[in-house]
Amino acid sequence: MKKAIHVKNDLIETRLADAREELADLNNFPDPEFVSIIKELGFQCEFCARCCTKEFNDHVFLLDSDLAIIRSIDPDAITPAPYPEFCDQEGKFYVSGYSLKANPDGSCIFLKNKRCKIYENRPLICRVYPHMLHREADESGNVDWRQISGLNEHGSYHSELEDSECKTIAQETRAYEEAYLRQMINFLEAVRAHFKRNGLKHVQRIYDRRMREFLKGHSELEVLVYSGNGFEKCNLKPEIFS
């Protein structure tokens, strides 16, 4: 008789396995199929700037390559990305990267008169949006591939796109999705190593309690933000996530 193997439910290991699996699936997704979907959608931007507001998009996540460019333009334009992934028993939070700050009205800090002030240097997600290629749950909770965001909410569709343009969009979108997943994998591996080295672990009840206190304005949060190959310490005031 085989001995039963008990696998510990480890959140970091689970997320690592999921990210690695999605990266493998992304690399195996048929390129002709993605190009065909892009061509069929025929999306054309109409410069409505809706995608640059919290009404349509929660935040602009920055890849490490984006971060270096934004810091060279305006180092005060970044903030830790919302929704930290982990919290240790000491009450310190861990998040996978930075995002762009928003104006009080919810628009991107670089948006002025419905135009991007750093258009030539905009983050990669802004370049490929609304195209995407990742697994995401729909309204019914069914997880499947999603190739576009905000369908029929902005821009125009069914325009005639050249094959070469569709291929370029597919390549750029794949590049973003792969870079994002690799950054997530590197972040998760860094958290795992940091926890092991310092005798730490993720504690959900502390996460929930500290976040409630923070959202009520009772305390600041100490957040370790993943950047490159390490963590950067940030102290967040309550209005950051409010």
User: What backbone phi and psi angles, to 5 degrees, belong to 168?
Assistant: -65, -45
Give me the torsion for CA of 60, 63, 32, 167, rounded to 10°: 80
What tens digit of pLDDT does each residue of 209-218 get?
999 999 988 8
Question: 221-227 and 93-95: which strand pairing?
Answer: parallel
**Predicted local confidence at residue 240, as pLDDT:** 47
What would the mean pLDDT of 138-150 be, rounded to a whole number?
Answer: 87
Higher local confidence (pLDDT), 65 or 137: 65
Res. 161: pLDDT tops 70: yes
What would the mean pLDDT of 179-208 be, rounded to a whole number?
Answer: 97
Each as own residue / partner, the long-range contacts of residues 169-173 (CB below 8 Å, 24 or more positions apart, any chain) are 169/38, 169/128, 169/131, 170/31, 170/34, 170/35, 170/38, 170/131, 172/124, 172/127, 172/128, 173/34, 173/128, 173/131, 173/132, 173/133
What tens digit of pLDDT does each residue of 68-115 get?
999 999 999 999 999 999 999 999 999 999 999 999 999 999 999 999
**Predicted local confidence at residue 237, as pLDDT:** 86
Band of residue 207 on the pLDDT scale cut at 50, 70, 90: very high
Res. 205: pLDDT tops 80: yes
Q: pTM for the full model?
A: 0.90
Band of residue 1 on the pLDDT scale cut at 50, 70, 90: very low
Beta bridge partners of 108: 102
**Predicted local confidence at residue 36, as pLDDT:** 97
**Predicted local confidence at residue 150, as pLDDT:** 82
Q: How far apart are CA 39 and CA 42, in angstroms?
A: 5
What tens digit of pLDDT does each residue of 24-76 get?
999 999 999 999 999 999 999 999 999 999 888 899 999 999 999 999 999 99
User: What backbone phi and psi angles, to 5 degrees, belong to 109?
Assistant: -60, -20
Res. 5: pLDDT tops 80: no
- SS3 string, the chain, reads CCCCCCCCCCHHHHHHHHHHHHHHHHHHCCHHHHHHHHHHHCCECCCCCHHHECCCCCCCEECHHHHHHHHHHCHHHEEECCCCCEEECCCCEEECCEEECECCCCEECCEECCEECCHHHCCHHHHHCCEEEEEEECCCCCEEEEEECCCCCCCECCCCCCHHHHHHHHHHHHHHHHHHHHHHHHHHHHHHHHHHHHCCCECHHHHHHHHHHHHCCCCCEEEEEEECCEEEEEEECHHHCC
Domain boundaries, the chain: 11-240
Band of residue 201 on the pLDDT scale cut at 50, 70, 90: very high
Band of residue 9 on the pLDDT scale cut at 50, 70, 90: low
**Predicted local confidence at residue 4, as pLDDT:** 35
Structure tokens at 134: 């990742």
Structure tokens at 219: 């305390």
